[in-house]
Amino acid sequence: MEQKHKDFFDQVYQVVRLIPKGCVTSYGAIANYLGAKGSSRMVGWAMNAAHDLDDVPAHRVVNRVGLLTGRHHFTPPDQMQHLLEQEGIKVENDRVKNFKAVFWDPTVELEL
């Protein structure tokens, strides 16, 4: 992996570690916070690579409308939903219910 990608992935992981239990954020919100608006796909790649990192709660990162688009990278695929539900987040049809109520925006919650 190129060093610049590794550095970006590490920055993504630092943000993801700060998402409180019972909250979710989106790929785009993380990219925006990191000053890389439009790089939500790169955040997704970072999340796909994070599943071997026990200290990165990748299950708390969903798409911009609350869909569990990363679920296929969990083993088993319903593990993402299970982890969210353990934290009190309701999921129906692979989508976070009351998404806006549990959405954590790093740009608002973290000082730049």
pLDDT digits (tens, 9 = 90+) for 38-90: 899 999 999 999 877 889 999 999 999 999 999 998 989 899 999 999 999 99
CATH topology assigned to domain 3-109? Arc Repressor Mutant, subunit A (1.10.10)
Q: What is the pLDDT of residue 13?
A: 97
Give the DSSP per-residue string, the chain: --HHHHHHHHHHHHHHTTSPTT-BEEHHHHHHHTT-TT-HHHHHHHHHTTTT-TT--GGGEE-TTSB-TTGGGSSSTTHHHHHHHHTT--EETTEETTHHHHB--HHHHS--
Question: Six-digit token pair at 111?
Answer: 């000082």
Please state, in angstroms and rounded to a whole number, the distance separating the CA atoms of residues 2 and 10.
Answer: 12
The reported pLDDT for the residue numbered 4 is: 66
Q: What is the mean pLDDT of residues 102-110?
A: 96
This prediction has a pTM of: 0.93
How is the chain split into domains, by residue range? 3-109
